[in-house]
Every structure is written in C-alpha cells, then in structure tokens.
C-alpha cells in the first residue's frame, strides 16, 4: 500500500498479493467478542455520565438493554461538554444554503440556540417522553431542534422533507406527536417546497397535534392558525437562555425513525440514548479517524438515519465541524459539491454510490476545477458501491491518496457495522467490498438453514449477538419487531441482505433479500408503493419490483391492472407517476409503468414478484409450479414487448 507522506494515512488498494495480518484490528475484534461487556464498558467511559451503569447488558432475546441504570444526556455529549471548554469558540456547523447563503455556528452559539429552543418547548408543555415531529429542510434549525428535544428528554421523529402529507400523517398518528416543527418552505433546485402547506394538510387528520412551530426560511407568506401555529422567532423571543439537561436513563428512547418494510406500514424504529451514543462515538473514531479538528461532510439528508448518526450525534460528540448543505448536488452547476469541499476545507467526505454514479456521467472536469487537497478520507453509504464508481471516486475526488471507507449499516443497526477501520489501522481495500465487521459486531453469512457459507458462496447476512447501537423495538409493535428480525434465523438478527465472504474474509454486500427497494440509497417497501398505487381510482391491483439503475442503484417498475371500465393510455401512465410522487414523495417516482390484464400469482394469491423482476430484467422466470395462471406471465411479457406500440397508439388517440 502507498502511504501519504503528509498524513501518514494508508491510501492504496489491495493487490493480488497475499494480505498481511491486521494485528490491531484482529486483536480488538477478538477481545470485543470474547468479553463484550468489558470491551463496551471501556468504550462507554469515553462519554460523560451523570450516573454510571449498574449492568452493562441485559439480554433477553430479542431485547437488549445496554448500560442499565446509567444516566446521561445526548445534548450534553454533543454540545455542553464542548461549550464548557476551549472548544466553545471552534466551529460546530458550516451551513450552506442552496442559493449561496451561509451561516457559521460555533459550539457556544449552538449551545445558546439549543437552550433557547429547549426552553421554548418546555414553555409549550413538552415533558420527558413526549414525541415531537420535525419536518424541516436542511437548515441549522433541524439539528438544533433534535438536540433541544434530547436536552429535555423529548423523543424526536424526523420526517424527510420530501415526504407527502399522508406520510407525515402516518408517522405523527403512530407516535401521537403533540408538536410538529416545520418551516414556511424550503428550496430545491430553485423551487420552493411548501412545507407549511403540506404540514397543514397532514395536521387536519392528526388530533394529537397541539402546536405547529414554523421556522422562517423562504419568507413566503403562509397561513397561520390562531392558537395552534407559532412562528419560531416569536417563540424564541420569550424563551429562557438556559435549561438544565434532563439526566435520562441509558435505555430512554432518543428518537423514533420510520423505515420501510415488506408490509405497507412503515416501521417506527426506536433507538436508545446510551447504547446508541456509545456505539456511534466509537464507530466514527474507528471508521473515520474523526477528531476535533476534522471538517466533516456527510451529504445525506438528516431525515434518514445516516443524517441522524453521521451529521448530528456522532461527529458533534467528537467536537468536529460539520458541513450542512441544503440543496441538490448538481444545482445550480454540476460542480457545486466540489466547490463546497474547497471552500470549507473538508477533510472527511461521506456520500452515496448513487451520487458518485451521477457525477461519473458528468465526467471529471468538475472536480478537476477545484482544489480538493484538503480531503483525507472518503466514505460510501446507502448501498453497495460498484467497482467502477469506486475507482472514479478514488481517482478524481480522492486524488489516489484517500482511502475509501465503504460502510454497511441500516436504520435498525443505529450505526456502521461493516467497514474499513483507518482509525484502528490501515486496511487493504478491495473496490466494492465493505471489508470487515467493526469491533463488537459478530457478523456471519449463512445459507437458508443457518449454516455458514463457504468462501465465494452467496448467503444471508446475520448478526449473531447484540451490539449497543441496535434498535430497542418497533414503536408500538413488538410482535412485528420479533417477526421481522428474529424469526428467520432464531437467536440472530436477520438483516434482510444477501452477502458473500471471499477467501480473505472480506464481506461483499449484494443487496436486499426481502421485498424492499433501495432507490438512491432510500429504503422503500414494495407493499407501501403498491398500497399507494392501488389508492388511485383507476387501479385494481399493483405490483412493484426493482430494476438496476446506473445512477440510482435501483429503479421502480410498477405493474398495474386497471378497473374494468378504465382503458390504458399514455395520459393515465403519466397520471399514475404523478400520483405516486404525491402519495409518498419524489423518491417513489416509477421509472416504468406497465398495464397488464393480470398479475402472476401463486395459488394462495400471493403475487410472484420474482417472476415480474425476471421479466423486467430479461432473465429466465424459473420454476412456475406454484403459479396460478401461466398466461399471466405471457401477458406481462407482451406488455414489455408492446410498450412502444401501445404508447404510440395512445398518444395518437
């Protein structure tokens, strides 16, 4: 491997030569599995606790409770302990608006703003355990609101600002949130997203909502309902300047975040305070070698788990400076991201393979125009990164000197589980492989019977013992928690992903094994998409499958059967696309819509999505012995073959 002379960081790829032993990593990983309680106790002592724990772990399968009896506060870890010392004057947040506006918040400024927000929430009657919904664009008020909730022991649920009113209503109704924090609007590609208007539409159907707090972003006039809606600046004017942190139990919920599953209803993943903070504080030191002098930019939206862990709680707990960017990656010019890296001297850059593939299509001219020499480490998250995109990222963004940490994790895991670990020791890199499990993570690849696979064989990725960052439960649905994660391989956490381990022990993630799509790094359940499609008055049945997409990783292919009196047309196809966007959000936009007379089903009535997927990608449909009606397969095939003719005829009409 090459070594950068200035930083000393490992920077080249694994070659065909035999890989040398990873002594520090191997020793730490071995020790973490042999005596996990002693190992995690040592990691936990790196945080500040009001009261240390009585027991490191209570494990009653499938429930793990970490650092039982301990008390701490997430806001204190991320803000107060830095604001009390010299770090008070260092940068906490560099904010860049889509239109070029900037704000810089030091840790002392962040401390002040979080205290005012927390005090305002208290004045509205928010107490420990209350749920608060946050539906905000990527502005500093979003992490401020999250930290303010944590400060007083309230449980936040962040809702991605691209979601529709129905998606908001589902999440607010499930958590019974009493307050929604939103903004007058947000910017995306020069357009204003009417967030307050969407929030109002949702709130009509959410009787638990007592107040809507509205931050100013666009300055556009919005309707304000008397006795319910409050402008954030007015609210803060009367707020106190300081409020004590609530010393919550380690097992107290920090947040609920919704993620799609194989049934229509999204799952409310609940994460603890203590275990989640300990796991992420350690993981980000191991994976990113993050330090207080680091300028760190994760390009995810805070509405996803990557934003929670990788933008707010982990880097701020290390006193790093984070970059928070509001807009699209290629707006108003395709080199916007590279300009931001050069402007703020970003050292650590963490993005998705979808974004990398998009920039590959634009070519290397954009990054070559900017000085990216501040970069020391690159990261990839959200889906497996293909070797071609890896190589481009390594060459043109990292200048062939920055290692790439290809990370695997999930909303449910809370933090990174599999990744190279430059913060422990350099790991020889293989483009496309996430390499090895982090310390404390007992990952295995098994066959359908639960037996470990041999090198080179594809199997199911499982985690065989608890880890501190794991979810507490599914909000309000413990049965679903058990069935989703713990019944497929009893005693082990089932990730739902296919994986392969090579002869060197490197792990290769191969995508979802269940019926969840990964579109541009966002998990969307096929059932949730199908429910949205069937809600259209013209649709009788719907089925969704994923199809490989060069940029997004996976695109949405929608099959629908129409009601008897409805005729297929190009106009209806466009209407269905609009309907899907409105029902769930832009991420749910189908790339292809096919009208069919019937869908392939088993005799028990279950749609055979594997058949649809095979037809969509031009593969053999395989065994059809359980199929109810083979004619339906031919119907779907004809829909593909005749698509251009049908569309042409419909447009002619």
For residue range 613-647, what is the model confidence (pLDDT) as tens digits? 877 777 766 555 445 555 666 666 666 555 434 43
Tokens of 251: 């097992």
Residues 268 and 413 reside in one and the same domain? yes
Strand partners, 259: 267
Dihedral sign (CA 31, 35, 37, 38) = negative
Among 426, 446, 462, give the residue marking a domain's end: 462
Backbone angles phi, psi at 559, to 5 degrees: -110, 130
Residues 443 and 532 reside in one and the same domain? no
Q: Which helix (H) or strand (E) holds 317?
A: helix 314-317
Q: Which domain holds residue 557?
A: 517-652
> How many residues are present in the chain?
653
For residue range 328-337, what is the model confidence (pLDDT) as tens digits? 898 999 999 9
- By DSSP bridging, strand 55-60 and strand 63-68 are antiparallel
Q: Say if 87 falls within a structural domain.
A: yes
Q: Say if 267 falls within a structural domain.
A: yes
Strand partners, 158: 134
Contact 354, 382 (CB under 8 A): yes
pLDDT at 255 over 90: yes
Residues 442 and 541 reside in one and the same domain? no
Tokens of 206: 């959410």
Ranges of beta strands (E only) in 171-223 are 179-183, 186-188, 191-193, 211-215
Mean pLDDT on 498-514: 89
Number of folded domains that form the chain? 2
Among 444, 462, 480, give the residue marking a domain's end: 462
pLDDT at 528: 77
pLDDT at 292 over 60: yes
- By DSSP bridging, strand 191-193 and strand 91-96 are unpaired
Question: Going by C-beta distance under 8 Å and a sequence separation of 6 or more, which residues neighbour residue 98?
Answer: 187, 188, 189, 190, 326, 327, 328, 331
Question: In angstroms, rounded to a whole number, what is the distance separating the alpha carbons of residues 70 and 377?
Answer: 35
Question: In angstroms, rounded to a whole number, what is the distance separating the alpha carbons of residues 534 and 598?
Answer: 14
**Radius of gyration of the chain measured on its C-alpha atoms:** 25
DSSP 500: E
pLDDT at 221 over 60: yes
pLDDT at 236: 97
Question: In angstroms, rounded to a whole number, what is the distance separating the alpha carbons of residues 461 and 501?
Answer: 10
Residues 64 and 171 reside in one and the same domain? yes
Residues 226 and 290 reside in one and the same domain? yes
Question: In angstroms, rounded to a whole number, what is the distance separating the alpha carbons of residues 473 and 492?
Answer: 15
Backbone angles phi, psi at 36, to 5 degrees: -60, -35
Question: Going by C-beta distance under 8 Å and a sequence separation of 6 or more, which residues neighbour residue 467?
Answer: 64, 279, 413, 417, 440, 441
Contact 556, 543 (CB under 8 A): no
Residues 255 and 388 reside in one and the same domain? yes
Query: Does residue 62 have a cis peptide bond before it, meaning omega lies within 30 degrees of 0?
Result: yes
Residues 199 and 57 reside in one and the same domain? yes
Residues 432 and 541 reside in one and the same domain? no
Residues 524 and 449 reside in one and the same domain? no
Identify which has the larger pLDDT, 103 or 642: 103
Among 431, 446, 462, give the residue marking a domain's end: 462
Q: Say if 393 falls within a structural domain.
A: yes
Q: Say if 495 falls within a structural domain.
A: no
Contact 593, 577 (CB under 8 A): yes
Query: Does residue 332 have a cis peptide bond before it, meaning omega lies within 30 degrees of 0?
Result: yes
Residues 399 and 528 reside in one and the same domain? no
Residues 193 and 266 reside in one and the same domain? yes
Mean pLDDT on 496-513: 90
**CATH number of the CATH domain containing 573:** 3.30.300.30
For residue range 310-325, what is the model confidence (pLDDT) as tens digits? 999 999 999 999 999 9
Contact 559, 592 (CB under 8 A): no
pLDDT at 652: 39
What residue has token string 């899907």?
580
Question: In angstroms, rounded to a whole number, what is the distance separating the alpha carbons of residues 569 and 388?
Answer: 39
Ranges of beta strands (E only) in 229-294 are 229-231, 248-249, 253-259, 267-272
Helices marked H in 348-475: 353-362, 365-368, 387-392
Residues 297 and 384 reside in one and the same domain? yes
DSSP 218: S
pLDDT at 466 over 80: yes
Backbone angles phi, psi at 78, to 5 degrees: -95, -20
**CATH number of the CATH domain containing 292:** 3.40.50.12780
Helices marked H in 177-273: 195-203, 232-237
Q: Say if 494 falls within a structural domain.
A: no
pLDDT at 521 over 80: no
For residue range 125-162, what is the model confidence (pLDDT) as tens digits? 999 999 999 999 999 999 999 999 999 999 999 999 98
Q: Between the CA of residue 27 and those of 14, 35, 186, 311, 435, what are the distances in Å?
A: 21, 12, 48, 30, 16
Mean pLDDT on 164-185: 95
Least confident of 258-272, 409-423, 493-507: 258-272
Q: Say if 193 falls within a structural domain.
A: yes
Q: Say if 615 falls within a structural domain.
A: yes
Q: Say if 501 falls within a structural domain.
A: no
pLDDT at 635: 60
């Amino acid at each position: 491997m090459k070594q950068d002379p200035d930083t000393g960081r490992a920077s080249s790829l694994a070659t065909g030569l035999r890989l040398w032993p990873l002594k520090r990593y191997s020793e730490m990983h071995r020790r973490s599995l042999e005596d996990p309680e002693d190992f995690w106790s040592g990691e936990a002592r790196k945080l500040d606790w009001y009261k240390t724990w009585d027991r490191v772990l209570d494990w009653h399968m499938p429930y793990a409770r970490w650092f039982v009896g301990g008390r701490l506060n997430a806001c204190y870890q991320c803000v107060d302990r830095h604001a009390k010392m010299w770090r008070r004057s260092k940068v906490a947040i560099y904010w860049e608006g889509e239109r070029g506006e900037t704000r810089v918040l030091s840790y002392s400024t962040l401390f002040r703003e979080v205290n005012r927000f927390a005090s305002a929430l208290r004045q509205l009657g928010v107490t420990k355990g209350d749920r608060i919904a946050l539906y905000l664009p990527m502005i500093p008020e979003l992490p401020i609101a999250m930290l303010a909730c944590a400060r007083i022991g309230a449980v936040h649920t962040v809702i991605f600002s691209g979601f529709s009113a129905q998606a908001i209503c589902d999440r607010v109704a499930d958590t019974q949130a009493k307050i929604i924090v939103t903004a007058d609007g947000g910017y995306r590609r020069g357009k204003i997203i009417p967030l307050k208007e969407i929030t109002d539409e949702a709130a009509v159907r959410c009787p638990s909502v007592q107040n809507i707090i509205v931050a100013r972003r666009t300055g556009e006039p919005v309707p304000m309902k008397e006795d319910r809606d409050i402008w954030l600046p007015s609210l803060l004017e009367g707020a106190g300047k300081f409020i004590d942190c609530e010393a919550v139990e380690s097992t107290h919920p920090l947040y609920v975040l919704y993620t799609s599953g194989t049934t229509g209803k999204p799952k409310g993943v609940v994460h603890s305070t203590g275990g989640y903070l300990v796991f992420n504080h350690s993981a980000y030191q191991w994976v990113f070698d993050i330090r207080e002098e680091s300028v760190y930019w994760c390009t995810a939206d805070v509405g996803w788990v990557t934003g929670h862990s990788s933008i707010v709680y982990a880097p701020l707990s290390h006193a790093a400076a984070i970059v928070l960017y509001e807009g699209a990656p290629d707006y108003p010019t395709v080199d916007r991201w590279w300009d931001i890296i050069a402007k703020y001297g970003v050292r650590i850059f963490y993005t998705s393979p979808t974004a990398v593939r998009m920039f590959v299509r634009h070519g290397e001219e954009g990054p070559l125009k900017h000085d990216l020499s501040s970069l020391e480490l690159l990261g990839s998250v959200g889906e497996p990164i293909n070797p071609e995109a890896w190589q481009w990222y390594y060459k043109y963004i990292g200048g062939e000197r920055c290692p790439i940490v290809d990370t695997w994790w999930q909303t449910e895991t809370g933090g990174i589980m599999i990744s190279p670990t430059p913060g422990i020791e350099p790991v020889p890199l293989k483009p496309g492989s996430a390499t090895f499990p982090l310390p404390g993570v007992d990952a295995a690849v098994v066959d359908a019977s639960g037996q470990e696979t041999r090198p080179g064989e594809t199997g199911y990725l499982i985690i065989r013992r608890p880890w501190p960052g794991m979810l507490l439960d599914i909000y309000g649905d413990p049965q679903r928690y058990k069935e989703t994660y713990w019944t497929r391989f009893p005693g082990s956490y089932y990730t739902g992903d296919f994986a392969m381990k090579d002869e060197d022990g490197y792990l290769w993630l191969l995508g979802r094994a269940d019926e969840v799509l990964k579109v541009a790094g966002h998990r969307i359940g096929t059932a949730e998409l199908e429910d949205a499609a069937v809600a259209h008055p013209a649709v009788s049945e719907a089925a969704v499958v994923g199809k490989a997409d060069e940029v997004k990783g996976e695109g949405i292919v929608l099959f629908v059967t129409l009601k008897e009196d409805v005729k297929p047309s190009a106009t209806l196809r466009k209407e269905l696309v609009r309907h899907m966007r409105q029902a769930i959000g832009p991420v749910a936009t189908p790339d292809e819509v096919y009208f069919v007379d019937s869908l392939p089903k088993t005799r028990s009535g279950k749609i055979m999505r594997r058949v649809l997927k095979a037809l969509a990608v031009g593969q053999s449909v395989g065994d059809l012995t359980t199929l109810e009606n083979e004619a339906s397969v031919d119907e779907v095939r004809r829909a593909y073959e005749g698509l251009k003719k049908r569309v042409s005829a419909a447009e002619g009409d």
